[in-house]
Structure 1
Amino acid sequence: MENIGAAAPDAPKRARARNRRGEGGRLREDIIAAAVELLDEAGDERAITLRSVARRVGIAAPSIYPHFPDQPAIMLAVVQREFSELRDSLLSMLEQAGTDPRERLYAVCNAYLDFARTHPERYRTMFGGLWVPDLGDSSLTASDLAELGADTMRILVTELAGCAAAGQSASTDPSSDAVALWLGLHGLAHQRAVTRAFSWPQDIADRVITALAHLKGPAA
């Protein structure tokens, strides 16, 4: 378990009303939300400790234990929540994208890049910042980690397969090509974050998507 005596500077503890019976789930969500706030503010996973989270929520640090056994368990919950947010962002964009397969694929890919751009610290943590999952830790399981990002990948596979079925993509293996497409998007998102002085071509995202999705002809 984490040493709750060591913590980065954090916001003053605020008073929090005791949960009524059956409201333990609300405290769990408050803990996760506080951890996300600390990550956004500090830009560093090391700012998330049991004590700093407890102070942000307004509880004593031991009150976290019924919900999370240690700091890695909180970090896993943060990452799981953000992957769910990413999935929801992609699905929301698809609802506005219409029925053209190519437009839908572009919408999904651009929504992915937008998420990475608007939530840089969360995105970095999701894909292995200072927090690195440890399967030797009892609070983490292989199934927990295997599901991270699985929904996002399924969306990419589905939309790329739709392009191939419509004759808009030359992909003969949408599942594998979707992995390559994700790698391209992830690489672009990462480099945009760490190489801000570089003069990126305005259509760099379109170039990456078109090439890795094997799209045919001009953009719709």
Structure 2
Amino acid sequence: MKETNATSQDAPKRTARVRNRRGEGGRLREDIVDAAAALLDETGDERAITLRSVARKVGIAAPSIYPHFPDQPAIMLAVVRREFAALEAHLRAAVQEAGEDPRDRLYALSRAYLGYAQDHPGRYRTMFGGLWMPTLGDSSLTEEELTTLGATAMQVLADALADCVAAGQSSVADPQLDAVTLWVCLHGLAHQYSVTRIFPWPGEPVADAIITRVAKLNAGPTAAG
């Protein structure tokens, strides 16, 4: 949307930002990412994140962004990368807290994933496409940058499923493939939880049913056994 010129009375005041000392340019880059993430939380709309809006939030002139980010999609990519890192840390913490039993760890990880989606709906939607992802060639982003997003978080899920197989608690034949299948199911459930207001969900938690069936869990030996 084209921005109109405002009068001096209507124009939002930009808080003067203290200039970084030599060697502190990285701090400004983080401030830009922080501002974009804050705008996303406030508006829930990636379209509200423009170079001008981010610059106003930080308290700088828009051209000051260019040494750090060539365009708006590059800023969004930095936001999304940081969120995937936060998701990965969240999942690893859930696995660690679940104890030694692989099956318990897989359940805890999957529930933590759904909890993250419910607690951060705007950021979660943006992480998995949202409205920000541009057509390749229309921005500075590369195919590799987009296709590798979330790869390490997905590996946490694949490793947890492989541990269940190794413990004799799962009969899946391809943990990598079935981890993607499990993620697709959890992602779909997260979406339905976010958009469905009235639905007669069954008594058994749907998430547990998905995990048990897709991961082909059985009553195999526990870690203690």
TM-score (norm 2): 0.89
The residue aligned with 1:18 is: 19
The equivalent residue for 1:47 is 48
Instruction: Provide the C-alpha distance between the structure 1 equivalents of 2:77 and 2:129, rounded to a whole number of angstroms.
Output: 11
AA aligned to 1:87 is: E
Native 8 Å contact 1:48 1:71 kept in 2: yes
Query: What residue is the counterpart of 2:182 in the other structure?
Result: 181
Q: Deviations over 1:62-87 (max 9, x none)?
A: 11010011111111111111111111
Shift of 1:196: 2.4
1:60 aligns with 2:71: no
Most deviating of 131-140 and 161-170: 131-140
Asked if 1 retains the 8 angstrom alpha-carbon contact of 2:73 and 2:139, the reply is no
SS in 1 for 2:41: helix
* Alignment root-mean-square deviation, CA: 2.1
Counterpart code for 1:212: V
Tell me which moved more, 67-76 or 193-202: 193-202
Matched, 1:37 2:38: yes
* C-alpha distance 194-23 of structure 1, shift in aligned 2 (>3 A): same
How far apart are 1:179 and its partner, in Å?
Answer: 0.7
- Cα deviation for residue 15 of structure 1 reads 2.4
Give the residue type in structure 1 aligned to 2:99: G
Deviations 1:36-71, CA, capped at 9 Å, x for gaps: 111111010001001110111111111101001111
Task: Map residues 114-125 of structure 1 onto 2, 5 A cutoff.
Answer: 114-125=115-126
1:135 match: 136
Q: Matches of 1:13 and 1:208 in 2, distance apart?
A: 49
Aligned to 1:72: 73
Task: Report sequence identity in percent.
Answer: 63
Cα 1:173–1:6 change in 2 (3 A) is: farther
Preserved CA contact (<8 Å) 1:6 1:51: no
Between the two proteins, the alignment pairs up a number of residues equal to: 215
What runs of 5+ residues in structure 1 fail to find an aligned partner?
none
Instruction: Specify which of 197, 200, 209 is matched with residue 211 of structure 2.
Output: 209
Name the SS of the counterpart of 2:87 in structure 1: helix
5+ residue gaps in structure 2? 6-10
The answer as to whether partners of 2:71 and 2:139 remain within 8 angstroms in 1 is no
